[in-house]
């Protein structure tokens, strides 16, 4: 029954097929399967499918079943997040990022004795907003892990096609992209202030607003296109395919694979530019300190240190993703399960730490 566009299998769908011993239902867009679908096939011993977690709900009499659930995956037959440590990590990072980034935005707006320029404050607030989106994403994953507790295998497709998963996919993609872009804009802003300290603040503020507006607008559109295309689609036509955390992972579809590659490349290029600008910034700060000392220059040095800490945490968060992706390109295939494990643990980490740095 391969490639027959089968979407649903009802209770006792194979009633009467008492001599059926082997069943191949590969390459069907199976969305929902009742747990007792195969109960009537008394002699069925082998089952092959391309639907993850199907083997979790078949009767024990089926001795050979594929695909076998990956024991190293961060999800399981029962839960979206299989490990208690993973559940705790997600909630700790979610709460820390949620509270921390709200405090950053509120504090910056209410602080009457601002020591940073309006443009710098605006960029930091924007970074806090992107990190806040990540905290919202983590909360969605954590809440739905509880909703589908002990029954994820049966309702996996329901979760993956749900509005919550679609929103989560948009949030993690937008937050990840904007976080890197914000680091680039912060570096440019600090370098501009250091090199041209006498540029009118309102001019710099206007430029920053335009840059941020373009950044957010382009990123939201760029992310929204594949996410909207994924609404109510089967796994092979979704951006995140079978990803239990709804992160981009469909490398078998040409458009989504190209989009995912561009997504990673844009961030990698942004990182390289950011690091180059940061090196130039440190050189300028060092030269300025030798030639003149003032409160303004002291603040520039302090902000440069804070920026370096944020850069280090962001780079540390993204490094595992780049390494896994690079190894996948070299080997010809990417281990999606390991990549997802890194995504759910590494990328949100900087969103939780950043607000307490700046």
Q: What is the pLDDT of residue 230?
A: 93
Contact 337, 73 (CB under 8 A): yes
Is residue 75 a part of any domain in this protein?
no
pLDDT at 80 over 70: yes
Do 58 and 89 belong together in one domain? no
The alpha carbon of 203 is separated from its chain's Cα centroid by a whole number of angstroms, namely 35
Is residue 38 a part of any domain in this protein?
yes
pLDDT at 91 over 60: yes
Q: What is the pLDDT of residue 132?
A: 93
Is residue 73 a part of any domain in this protein?
no
Q: What is the CATH number of the domain that holds 243?
A: 1.20.1070.10
pTM of the complete model: 0.80
State the DSSP H helix or E strand holding residue 67, giving kind and residue range, or none if neither. none
Do 174 and 222 belong together in one domain? yes
Which among 307, 358, 355 has a CA at the least distance from the CA of 130? 355
Is residue 89 a part of any domain in this protein?
yes
Do 57 and 194 belong together in one domain? no
Do 264 and 218 belong together in one domain? yes
Which among 85, 26, 58 has a CA at the least distance from the CA of 235? 26
Do 122 and 263 belong together in one domain? yes
Is residue 106 a part of any domain in this protein?
yes
Do 183 and 319 belong together in one domain? yes
Most distant CA atoms of the chain, gap in Å? 90
Do 101 and 218 belong together in one domain? yes
Do 243 and 270 belong together in one domain? yes
Q: What is the pLDDT of residue 113?
A: 44
Range 30-35 average pLDDT: 67
Residue numbers of the domain that contains 56: 1-68
Range 110-127 average pLDDT: 69
Do 45 and 169 belong together in one domain? no
Do 6 and 92 belong together in one domain? no
As beta bridge partners, residue 81 has none
Identify the domain boundary among 10, 38, 68.
Answer: 68
pLDDT at 66 over 90: no
Domain total of the chain: 2
How would residue 44 be classed by pLDDT, with cut points 50, 70 and 90?
Answer: confident
Is residue 264 a part of any domain in this protein?
yes
Proportion of the chain above pLDDT 70, given as a percent:
75
Identify the domain boundary among 15, 44, 68.
Answer: 68
| Range with the poorest average pLDDT among 53-57, 156-160, 235-239, 339-343 | 339-343
- Per-residue pLDDT tens digits for 316-326: 777 777 677 66
Is residue 256 a part of any domain in this protein?
yes
Do 229 and 332 belong together in one domain? yes
CA triplet 238, 131, 251: central angle to 5 degrees? 25
Is residue 79 a part of any domain in this protein?
no
Contact 216, 178 (CB under 8 A): yes
How would residue 339 be classed by pLDDT, with cut points 50, 70 and 90?
Answer: low
How would residue 183 be classed by pLDDT, with cut points 50, 70 and 90?
Answer: confident
pLDDT at 302 over 90: no
Do 61 and 117 belong together in one domain? no
Q: What is the pLDDT of residue 136?
A: 95
Q: What is the pLDDT of residue 334?
A: 60
């Amino acid at each position: 029954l391969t490639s027959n566009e089968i979407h649903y299998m009802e209770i006792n769908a194979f009633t009467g097929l008492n001599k059926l011993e082997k069943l191949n239902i590969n390459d069907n867009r199976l969305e929902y399967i009742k747990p007792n679908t195969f109960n009537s096939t008394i002699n069925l011993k082998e089952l092959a499918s391309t639907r993850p977690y199907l083997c979790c709900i078949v009767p024990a009499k089926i001795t050979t079943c594929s695909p076998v659930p990956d024991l190293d995956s961060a999800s399981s037959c029962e839960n979206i997040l299989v490990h208690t440590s993973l559940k705790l990590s997600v909630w700790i990072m979610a709460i820390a990022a949620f509270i921390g980034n709200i405090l950053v935005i509120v504090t910056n707006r209410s602080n009457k004795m601002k020591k940073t320029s309006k443009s710098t404050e605006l960029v930091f607030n924007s970074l806090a907003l992107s990190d806040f989106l990540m905290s919202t994403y983590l909360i969605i994953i954590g809440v739905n892990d509880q909703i589908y507790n002990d029954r994820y295998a049966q309702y996996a497709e329901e979760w993956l096609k749900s509005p919550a998963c679609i929103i989560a996919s948009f949030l993690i993609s937008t937050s990840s992209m904007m976080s890197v872009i914000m680091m680039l804009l912060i570096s440019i802003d600090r370098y501009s202030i250091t090199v041209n300290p006498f540029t009118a603040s309102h001019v710099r503020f206007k430029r920053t607003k335009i840059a941020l507006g373009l950044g957010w607008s382009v990123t939201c559109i760029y992310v929204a296109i594949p996410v909207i295309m994924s609404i109510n689609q089967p796994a092979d036509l979704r951006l995140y395919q079978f990803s239990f955390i709804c992160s981009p992972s469909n490398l078998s579809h040409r458009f989504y694979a190209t989009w995912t590659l561009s997504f990673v490349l844009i961030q990698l290029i942004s990182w390289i530019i950011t690091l180059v600008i940061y090196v130039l910034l440190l050189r300028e700060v060092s030269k300025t300190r030798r030639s003149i000392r003032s409160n303004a220059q002291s603040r520039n040095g302090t902000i440069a240190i804070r920026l370096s800490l944020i850069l280090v945490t962001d780079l540390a968060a993204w490094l595992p993703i780049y390494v896994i992706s690079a190894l996948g390109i070299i080997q010809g295939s990417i281990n999606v399960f390991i990549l997802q494990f890194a995504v759910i643990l590494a990328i949100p980490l900087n969103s939780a730490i950043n607000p307490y740095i700046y």
